Amino acid sequence: MGPTAVGKTALSLELAQAFNGQIISGDSMQVYRGLDIGTAKATAAEQAQVKHHLIDILDPAEPFSVAAFIKECQRKIEQIARQAKLPIIVGGTGFYLQALLDDFQLGGQPADPDPKIRQQWRDFAAKHGQQQLWEALARIDPTAAQKIPPANQRRVIRALEVYQLTGEKFSCQADLPQPKYDPLILGLNVDRQLLYQRINQRVDLMLKQGLLPEARWLFDQGGTALPAGKGIGYKELFPYFAGQCSLETAVEEIKKNSRHYAKRQLTWFRNKMSVTWLDPQATDFQEQARQRVNDWLNER
């Protein structure tokens, strides 16, 4: 995961090929057919390298919700796993990803009785490190700590949650529902100014690739009246098609809204999820990512 234009697609292809994986889109707009350029979908050539899922499954007039995403994503994860392949979710729609990984009910409410406790322990781990988080568990429930490696932050936090909520040790709560997934969450981020520069350049490239006719087609289908018509990169062009502003103004709006969205994405990922951050500008970036995945798989 990471903000728009940070390089998620390239890394996802690298990891999928290195670890026999298939890719599931974690983007709320890439589900729509006909919206390829503005949603920054993997190209046909890229999709030919690795099997992709949850792309081009709906028409622009069809609604798509977090509940639908969870249902479809869970189905795809199981399908990929049955093929002995690694499911790799790639995207930037933070609420959708959090809802899937934090076991939200399909109605949109967290299954956990007090998500604030979970966030407190995440903050503790971010400040003091995973080893000290694990040691906190070892002090109150050494039996559970022996069975959970320090690197499995999600599981350690779940054990601490149970103790704080019930007063009983996690090791004595075998009948409690367990998190459905135990993920490795890799986040990509670069210097803010460089990110904004990339976003501006991406918008310019999208225009060269044919964003205008794609957006015009969506406008003619119904524009913002459609579920797909509210996406950044499209809605800003509708006033231009209606003769209400210049193309230059519309393009600047796309860039501005994209930058603001990237900032919101990063805030969400940092505050809501346990992310291992990587810098795509590092010379050994891809090797770092491969090593993280390899270590995570070996631990399990």
Known binding residues for ATP:
2-9
CA dihedral 12, 13, 14, 17 (to 10 degrees): 120
Binding-site entries: 2-9
How far apart are the C-alpha atoms of 188 and 289, rounded to whole Å? Answer: 10
Beta pairing partners, 23: 52, 88
Q: 39: which DSSP letter?
A: T
Four-residue CA torsion sign, 171, 177, 181, 187: negative
Distance in angstroms (rounded) separating the CA atoms of residues 79 and 96? 20
- How far is the C-alpha of 61 from the C-alpha of 222, rounded, in Å? 8
Q: Where are the alpha helices (DSSP H) in 83-114?
A: 94-101
Phi, psi (rounded to 5 degrees) for 110: -60, 140
Judged by DSSP in three states, 145 sits in helix
Is 241 in contact with 219 (CB distance < 8 Å)?
yes
Which tokens in the block code for residue 59? 């028409």
Enumerate the known binding-site residues for substrate.
4-9
